[in-house]
Chains A and B, each alone.
Chain A
Amino acid sequence: MKWFDICSLDEINPLGARIVAGPKGDIAVFRTADDQVFALDDRCPHKGGPLSQGIVFGKQVACPLHNWQINLDSGEAVAPDVGCAHRHEARIENGRVLLSLNSQTGG
């Protein structure tokens, strides 16, 4: 598993996100209020909206285009909507945010 040190935790706002340009498209890296980080392809399963631009709350993000709610930990849309955004691994180590691409799912 290859890990990339993408930025320090401070460089992502709490309840915010950053865009990481990956080899196969943008990845959104989210930070929750309790300082957990999650990474998803920056494409809403609905109409491809950039999830990184949505409002983050709890462990969810609301897509800025049509307000689909996506679970950050699974990438799954909240019912009754159905769909899934591709997930990548992200974690925090010594105040740095590490990202590992999941090649199975694009990224």
Chain B
Amino acid sequence: MTVADALMLALGAVAVGSAAHVVTSTHLVRAGFSLVVSLGAIAGLYLVLGAELVAWVQILVYVGAVVVLLLFAVMLTRAPIGPAKDLDRPAAPAVLIGGGIGLGLTVLLIDAFRWTEYELPPPGTGRRVGEQIFGAWVLPFEVLSILLLAALVGAIVLSRPDIGARPDPNAVAVPPGPPPGPVGESDEVVARLARIAARQAAAQQRVREQSAVVEGELVEGDLVEDAPVPEPTREDQLKDQARDVVFRAREAGPTLGARPETEERGPRIVESTVGRDQPALPPAPAEDS
């Protein structure tokens, strides 16, 4: 029993145990996280067996991508968060076939290998794996990249309902007519827009009439200029201030196309309610013993 044996036994126990939790848990999300543990333990087994690159690829692809995809699918299908009772179908055939596979394979492999010892090869480096992939296995590599591209396109086509949808045979054929509105809106929206436009026109008309009345008064009475200027109320002052703020801000701000100021202002000082010379926190109260 060497160190490699002990490591493999421990990692194998973790992998098999969490895999059993994956296939028996009643929580979907917990099954996903048990899958993470199981795949991580298998990556550790790869490391012990000397396949370092495979171990890291396993962690990157499986733990990093595949399990995240699965959990995304759990989220998108609104799976129950808590325990769910209806995740399983009757156990008898599954136990029969699964147990048969496990027992048969285990007996076969134990019978084949007995208790033979092998020397572990020197751990493979990424350089050697890369040389082999791009040397002897370059054609399968390229075929695999084409397959990945096909899978990507297939996933996109599957998840977009507007691609490849067949026309519904039951749908009534709509005769081609004028478009429903200037912007393609529905009748309701168009009616609402028309109401808004009518209301705005009425308001403009009202304002024009009022201004015409005021000008007529001004023309009629010459004594208007001698009338005392009314004291500005607080509301008027506030209006003036608001106008100042708006228009001065417009004037002071950068205009379109103008060059921004290149003046160097040094490190930016963040304005705060506390002065720069004051301490940021008020002094602690003197302790009373």
Asked if A pairs with B, the answer is no
- List residues of chain A with CB under 8 Å of any chain B CB: none
